[in-house]
Chain A
Amino acid sequence: MTTPKKRESLFHPLPIGGAVPCRCLYYKELFCIYSSVVADSLVATWRIHLCFFVSTKLGNKMEEKNGQCNSVIGGNFEEVCPEKVIKFKPPLYKQRYQFVRDFVDQHKPKKVADLGCGDTELLRLLKVHPCIQWLVGVDIDKEKLQSNGHQLSPYLGEFIKPRDLDLTVTLYHGSIVERDSRLLGFDLITCIELIEHLDSDDLARFPQVVFGYLSPTMIVISTPNSEFNPLFPTVTLRDADHKFEWNRMEFQTWALQVANCYNYSVEFTGVGEPPAGAEHVGYCTQIGVFRKNGGKATESRFSEQHDQHVYESVYTTSYPSLQQEKMLKFVLVGEVLMLAERLRLRHQRMLREQKGSGAHPDSADCSGAPHLILGAVFTEAEKARIESSPKPFCEGDKFFIPLRRLLAYPKLHRLHVDEERARSLIADSVQLSSDGSAVVDDLYKHWDYWPEDY
């Protein structure tokens, strides 16, 4: 697949003041710009944007020119790569998604929204991340959302082995340039290959809504790098619906302005490395990673009070998780019974061995079966925890396993349930000793397997 770990090292912060020095760094793979300038006023912002759009349009034309100029370079390139067609491996879209996944792994956001989620593929990849508890997709194509919604529902297996934390996935139908208060207070908003589909009006409104109104802690924006286009055989724009494709300069200028205006810092990177010999064109997809200065702001809390629901909820689903009492109980009871059975059998075997050969019984509680070690092997710390808890014991033909013993085993320990809570949760499904401190079972059961029988 992709090279996930490598990316972490890609973020070498290069503190640079202003936009000018960009040019110097043009041929570097990536650079970051810290902008600390806060937008003076809204009016100012508007002005900036208006100017900016003029330049965008010019930029598009220029791009064509650029394309022509670059064809010379393209000619050079042909020598390096005769088949002309560049194929990314893994495909570029997967590299983009992988970038977001790595980013999520690194920053552990709780609430994530994907604007322009399309066929929800990115959401499907993100829902497996344990840190995410709210996952939202927004798109203007309602039919796409409807037909792909069910793919975001929990897997059947998640009803048997639930997640640790709750997760709610919601798909909204609506335009990202409209304000909906349900998207406030997010940790991460991703706009993967989105902005190039916006016409100039929408593009102008986009920062106001996403940066100004929604104001999430982090924003990831990706868009094609037009400098790469000449390496493709025919294309001027990569998609018929693209309203524009920016070169790095244009994207970074825009991004810096926006970041400045809304008090974000931005770093630039990308995916889709250019082929050897054409390194100067940069990544095929350019990515801007925005971070709100001063962390999570509180202003969003305020705006939450006046609810503004303009999006239509097309699909929503909640995942079973250990935060739900019902699921916790289900898992706890299951694990307790399974462990108790295992300990019972181990005890039985120990007794048998004692009786059989008089040899020293295998008292090490953590040793598995001799050759085939199935199941997780305990760490030293886990072993110590188990050893320090009260031991299972026999009274007559009854076998007692103290709850504290059970809770010391990793599979139960990770549930973070104290003895009292565990007792109340399992009481109606598991037989407990009279004082409730231990699980009780018959030492011998009729179905036990006795090798001597055969």
Chain B
Amino acid sequence: MRRQEAVVMTVGAAPEAGHDAEQPAGLGCRERGEPAGPQEPCKQWKKFLYCEPHKRIKEVLEEELYIKRDECHIKNPPAEDTSSSGCGSTFKERSVKMRRDVMDLDICTREKLAHVKDCKTGSSGIPVTLVTNLFSLDLPPDWKLYQYHVTFSPDLASRRLRTALLYSHSKLSNKAKAFDGTVLFLSQKLEEKVMELSSETQRGEAVKMTVSLTKELPSSSPVCIQVFNIIFKKILKKLSMYQIGRNFYKPSEPVEIPQHKISLWPGFAISVSHFESRLLFSADVSYKVLRNETVLEFMTDLCHKTGTSSFTQECEKQLTGLIVLTRYNNKTYRIDDIDWSVRPTHAFQKRDGSEITYVDYYEQQYNITLSDLNQPMLVSLLKNKRNYNTEPWIVHLIPELCFLTGLTEQATSDFQLMKSVAEETRLSPLGRQQRLARLADNIQRNKDARFELETWGLHFGSQVSLTGRVMPSEKILLQDHTCQPVSAADWSKDMRNCKILSAQSLDKWLILCSNRAENVIENFLNCLRRVGSPIGFNVSYPKIIKVQENPAAFLRAIQQHLHPDVQLVMCILPSNQKNYYDSIKKYLSSDCPVPSQCVLTRTLNKQGMMMSVATKIAMQMSCKLGGELWAVEIPLKSLMVVGIDVCKDALSKEVLVVGFVASINLRITRWFSRCILQRTNTDIADCLKVFMTGALNKWYKHNHSLPARIIVYRDGVGDGQLKTVIDYEVPQLLSSVTESSSNTSCRLSVIVVRKRCMPRFFTEMNRTVQNPPLGTVVDSEATRPAWYDFYLISQTTCRGTVSPTYYNVIYDDNGLKPDHMQRLTFKLCHLYYNWQGLISIPAPCQYAHKLTFLVAQSIHKEPNLELANCLFYL
């Protein structure tokens, strides 16, 4: 999905690209406007087709900028009466509740996989030396973390007081320590297992503290990892960085984009983790987007723009869900609602029960005078982090004292804005490497940072280099031609005028367009037929229906003219307003299943690019009719590959859209796609047994046997969900497979795919740093000891740094050698028909992703089963 917004960016970036008509589609544009970072291809596609850009642009950038909303955790509930203690209680939350990604690390899947128990590395391919964003962290060989339990007598409620008393005790001074109120961690053992310490409060009350040893933890234990992460948090704060969410930013060195009222704060996402053989520190560059305006200013502006009639509604729409930063402390809050009935002059009850108006409170507490006494209140619901069952409590925030972070929906649809943001945040491998080097240097040189590390016995070492392997490039198989692409990133040139594997001819179809678009149609149809015949896709003349320029008219016309023998409906839309697209797609995917193709009038007006536009559309339409474009050589016979992805429904957050796409022929060119909407709070799929059985039946119908091997790629697994996938989803798949194949044996493998992962890899060449070549595999050092996992780089980026895709084989009956598993995965990245080139994840995953996105954004119900055999969602 993010690729589409990319598209939009491309459109703006190179609108006058001026390719001659003969040039294959979208080639040149790529060099110009593409965003860096995690890239996928269909951006070029969508450039010419319909695009609903807002959400997508945002997603690309959010990914690039690491602006994950749910990451903006609120650290401590804003006690009304406490003075602003900045970045308070990070530690306690962490030690009491495991961080979710750390939780995953506890799961050992590799030990159950006999064939990789001893060795999970491959050997084929050309070795390549890679620099990483990982740094070694060395500990003395016998290093241990000592965990103590501390009780206070008399018991003290205040954690602050507990900490102050314990820390000030002479037995503990000058020792490295971390304490959350009950659990104390030390890097040195105390003389006795149970120690009684006594201290006095300022009031002179004697307090007895009993410190008893509960655990000795080796450095690889998850608890230890968390303590290390806390230590590094402290260190980054010493380097004058601020924690926002999980990352650290430096607001004193901002990148300003004044024309868009935006500041970008540079920073890092960091973590300490136990990788394959040792403890490593990883860091990646991240940016925080800050709006240089208060919420009040934003509201005032909006009011000016919209007028009063629709103001409140529009305001709620734009603001809810955004994260704000308050002026008087360093906390962030999510806007959940706006309360128009409460004013700053109203009183609220403080913790101690007394009443005070908001104006007076801010005056007294923070010396802030509110200028606008009519402003409404922002409402934020705070959940108790330690106890999820308690009612969330409501906090009122003053718009005048809140700054917006991140980008509003409106901002993300502003192409110029997004372009400026991307320009600043897109870092070349060299730029990234320099930032990392500077961070490492700062950590090593800063006196306080060094001291902190030393007291814990840690040594911050050098940047880790490792050896990866580059897999050979793949041949692309077409109907009567095999091509070895010049670049695996884009073979559109190589396959120009080659016949695609199979195509249905398009005989009966409709075009709906507004009067204004009429004049472009003839030219477009000409082009379509000119590009169609050489690739083997024959297009007849359609029935053209003129309609008025509104969504209802389009829908009415479709309903009126749609006969059962119509193969495809094309709509030429006057604007990219979402409701055109949504209503058409909803009707044609669900109510009355016919493949549909939406194109913007604007796209067809670009004279110079007509041929490339037509080529793309021709290919896409032929896929929608069930055609096959190309294949790669796959030595495994009788292999079914499956992609699964999940996505939250855009309308209702409780609805999860699960997409399932399985190959149904031996060449792996035809797909069976299912999608379901599931009411749930977790991102765990419920319906996999039904889907899998359906796919096996389909396979049986096509091949008169069952597949010998099934490989499932599961995308969309969040932090902390690995265990549920293993315990809940794998059994569903397995039971379907065993039930279906009573006499033959189907072997199943399940691989979790992650596009977002910490490690980055660079190659050093001629004293500069570059992205690694396509097909680079890393299966050592940066991997995890308990898992059968590897990284694969299967996409290119012209600007910016490529991010590898992470694969974790959690279940494997197939027993393929790691070499073969890696190679197969790489091959599958070639098969996405929306892009003539490699993509970052295996094609079935990308298909599942496209499908769920369409359903979650536009259709909001299950697509009709009749469409399951074609890629109607491309």
Q: Is the CB of B304 within 8 A of A124?
A: no
> Which parts of A325-352 form the interface with B (CB within 8 Å)?
330, 333-334, 337-338, 341-342, 345-346, 349
A356 on interface, CB distance cutoff 8 Å: no
B92 on interface, CB distance cutoff 8 Å: no
Q: Is the CB of A369 within 8 A of B258?
A: no
Q: Is the CB of B375 within 8 A of A374?
A: yes
Residues of chain B at interface, number, CB under 8 A = 67
- Across-interface contacts of B365 in A (CB, < 8 A): 1
Q: Is the CB of A337 within 8 A of B261?
A: yes
Q: Is the CB of B328 within 8 A of A239?
A: no
Given contacts A121-B83, A330-B258, contact A156 B325 (CB under 8 A): yes
Q: Is the CB of B325 within 8 A of A374?
A: no
Given contacts A157-B325, A239-B203, contact A337 B259 (CB under 8 A): yes
Whole-angstrom distance between the Cβ of A23 and the nearest chain B Cβ = 31
- Across-interface contacts of A370 in B (CB, < 8 A): 308
Q: Is the CB of A156 within 8 A of B200?
A: no
Give the interface centre of A146, A237, A449 by most chain B CB atoms within 10 Å.
A449
Q: Is the CB of A449 within 8 A of B366?
A: no
Measured in the bound complex, the distance between the Cα atoms of B611 and A32 in whole Å is: 93
- Residue among B256, B311, B367 making CB contact with A330, cutoff 8 Å: B256
B724 on interface, CB distance cutoff 8 Å: no
CB closest residue in chain A, given B85: A151
Measured in the bound complex, the distance between the Cα atoms of B242 and A239 in whole Å is: 36
Whole-angstrom distance between the Cβ of A316 and the nearest chain B Cβ = 11
- Across-interface contacts of B410 in A (CB, < 8 A): 447
Residues of chain A at interface, number, CB under 8 A = 57
Measured in the bound complex, the distance between the Cα atoms of B293 and A147 in whole Å is: 32
Q: Is the CB of A128 within 8 A of B366?
A: yes
- Across-interface contacts of B364 in A (CB, < 8 A): 1-2, 4
Q: Is the CB of B301 within 8 A of A341?
A: yes
CB closest residue in chain B, given A104: B367
Measured in the bound complex, the distance between the Cα atoms of B448 and A334 in whole Å is: 37
Measured in the bound complex, the distance between the Cα atoms of B309 and A342 in whole Å is: 18
Measured in the bound complex, the distance between the Cα atoms of B328 and A4 in whole Å is: 20
- Across-interface contacts of B238 in A (CB, < 8 A): 150
Q: Mark A297-324, 1 if CB is under 8 A from B, else 0.
A: 0000000000000000000010010000
Whole-angstrom distance between the Cβ of B86 and the nearest chain A Cβ = 5
Decide if the interface of chain B is mainly helix, strand, loop or mixed.
Answer: mixed
B237 on interface, CB distance cutoff 8 Å: yes
> Which parts of B298-351 form the interface with A (CB within 8 Å)?
299-301, 303-312, 325-330
Whole-angstrom distance between the Cβ of B317 and the nearest chain A Cβ = 13
Measured in the bound complex, the distance between the Cα atoms of B200 and A237 in whole Å is: 13
Q: Is the CB of A375 within 8 A of B296?
A: yes
B356 on interface, CB distance cutoff 8 Å: yes
Q: Is the CB of B258 within 8 A of A143?
A: no
Measured in the bound complex, the distance between the Cα atoms of B300 and A155 in whole Å is: 25
Given contacts A334-B292, A338-B297, A374-B303, contact A129 B367 (CB under 8 A): yes
Whole-angstrom distance between the Cβ of B303 and the nearest chain A Cβ = 5
Q: Is the CB of B330 within 8 A of A240?
A: no
Measured in the bound complex, the distance between the Cα atoms of B356 and A1 in whole Å is: 9
B542 on interface, CB distance cutoff 8 Å: no
- Across-interface contacts of A239 in B (CB, < 8 A): 202-204
Whole-angstrom distance between the Cβ of A90 and the nearest chain B Cβ = 8
- Across-interface contacts of B252 in A (CB, < 8 A): 159, 320
Q: Is the CB of B204 within 8 A of A240?
A: yes
A376 on interface, CB distance cutoff 8 Å: yes
Q: Is the CB of B327 within 8 A of A157?
A: yes
Given contacts A334-B292, A372-B374, contact A153 B240 (CB under 8 A): yes
- Residue among A156, A157, A369 making CB contact with B307, cutoff 8 Å: A369
A81 on interface, CB distance cutoff 8 Å: no
> Which parts of A348-399 form the interface with B (CB within 8 Å)?
349, 368-376
Measured in the bound complex, the distance between the Cα atoms of B304 and A237 in whole Å is: 63
Measured in the bound complex, the distance between the Cα atoms of B365 and A272 in whole Å is: 19
A238 on interface, CB distance cutoff 8 Å: yes
- Across-interface contacts of B237 in A (CB, < 8 A): 150
B414 on interface, CB distance cutoff 8 Å: yes
Measured in the bound complex, the distance between the Cα atoms of B414 and A116 in whole Å is: 53
Measured in the bound complex, the distance between the Cα atoms of B204 and A155 in whole Å is: 35
Q: Is the CB of B403 within 8 A of A345?
A: no
Q: Mark A11-35, 1 if CB is under 8 A from B, else 0.
A: 0000000000000000000000000
Q: Is the CB of A451 within 8 A of B307?
A: yes
- Residue among B244, B304, B375, B448 making CB contact with A345, cutoff 8 Å: B304
Q: Is the CB of A156 within 8 A of B242?
A: yes
- Across-interface contacts of B456 in A (CB, < 8 A): none
B352 on interface, CB distance cutoff 8 Å: yes
A54 on interface, CB distance cutoff 8 Å: no
Give the interface centre of A1, A156, A239, A375 by most chain B CB atoms within 10 Å.
A156
A235 on interface, CB distance cutoff 8 Å: yes
> Which parts of A260-275 form the interface with B (CB within 8 Å)?
none
B742 on interface, CB distance cutoff 8 Å: no
Q: Is the CB of B204 within 8 A of A159?
A: no
Measured in the bound complex, the distance between the Cα atoms of B329 and A286 in whole Å is: 32
- Residue among A235, A371, A448 making CB contact with B305, cutoff 8 Å: A448
Q: Is the CB of B326 within 8 A of A157?
A: yes
Chain A positions near chain B (C-beta within 8 angstroms): 1-2, 4, 89, 101, 119, 121, 124-125, 128-130, 143, 146-147, 150-151, 153, 155-161, 235, 237-240, 317, 320, 330, 333-334, 337-338, 341-342, 345-346, 349, 368-376, 429-430, 447-449, 451
A-B residue pairs, 9 tightest by C-beta = A157-B327, A159-B251, A375-B300, A333-B258, A128-B367, A374-B300, A1-B364, A376-B371, A429-B258
A-B contact pairs, 15 of them (CB 8 A): A4-B364, A101-B367, A121-B83, A155-B330, A156-B330, A159-B254, A160-B290, A320-B252, A334-B293, A369-B303, A369-B311, A371-B308, A374-B299, A375-B296, A430-B258
Chain B positions near chain A (C-beta within 8 angstroms): 83-87, 164, 167, 173, 200, 202-204, 237-238, 240, 242, 244, 251-252, 254, 256, 258-259, 261, 263, 265, 290, 292-294, 296-297, 299-301, 303-312, 325-330, 352, 356, 364-368, 371-372, 374-375, 401, 403, 410, 414, 448
15 further A-B contacts with Cβ under 8 Å, apart from A128-B366, A235-B204, A430-B258, are: A121-B83, A128-B328, A129-B367, A130-B367, A155-B327, A156-B242, A237-B204, A239-B204, A338-B301, A369-B311, A371-B308, A374-B299, A447-B410, A447-B414, A451-B310
